Amino acid sequence: MIVRIMTEGQFKLADDDIERINELDNVCVAAVDGGDREGFKVAFAQLLDMVREHGTPIADDDLVGSDVLVPPPDTSFEEAAADFTGDGLIPG
């Protein structure tokens, strides 16, 4: 799957990694729902690191669309409320 960290770039990730990212995605949703700022900050940072470390950057001249869009790394807790609702970034 192709994941884009907004304002940063695109990465190609294996399905297993997507699974793990989906878990963190759900943790983010739970944190936002529960008004847990610190919990969100930690989970979101882990999610970003996961994408960066396990993903292979897509070449700049590759014109592929993304399957998942992750909000910008400097997303605030308030902004996150818009993205991390329901299923979060990834369904399921």
Partner 1 sequence: MAGLAGRMSTTIKAKVSSFLDRAEDPQETLDYSYQRQLESLQNVKKGIADVVTSKKRLQMQAERLEQSVVKLDGQARAALNAGNEELARTALERKQLAQNEMQSLDGQVGELEEQQQKLTDNEKKLRQKIEAFKTKKEVIKAQYSAAEAQVKISEAATGVGEEMADIGLAMQRAEDKTEQMKARAGAVEELEASGTFDDLTQIGGGGGDDIDRQLAELSTGQGVDDELAKMRAELGSGSAEGEGESKQLGKGEGSST
Which chain residues interact with partner 1 by CB under 8 A? Answer: 4, 6-7, 9, 60-66, 69-72, 74, 79-87, 89, 91
- Closest to partner 1 by CB, 38 or 74: 74
> C-beta of 74: minimal distance to partner 1 in Å?
7
- Closest to partner 1 by CB, 19 or 79: 79
> C-beta of 17: minimal distance to partner 1 in Å?
18
Distance CA 7, CA 5 (A): 6
Do the bridges between strand 68-70 and strand 2-5 make them parallel or antiparallel, or are there none, so unpaired?
parallel
> C-beta of 78: minimal distance to partner 1 in Å?
12
- Closest to partner 1 by CB, 16 or 86: 86
- Long-range CB pairs of 41-45, under 8 A, 24+ apart, other chains included: 41/77, 44/75, 44/80
Residues in a beta bridge with 12: 2, 56
Residue with tokens 């878990």: 23
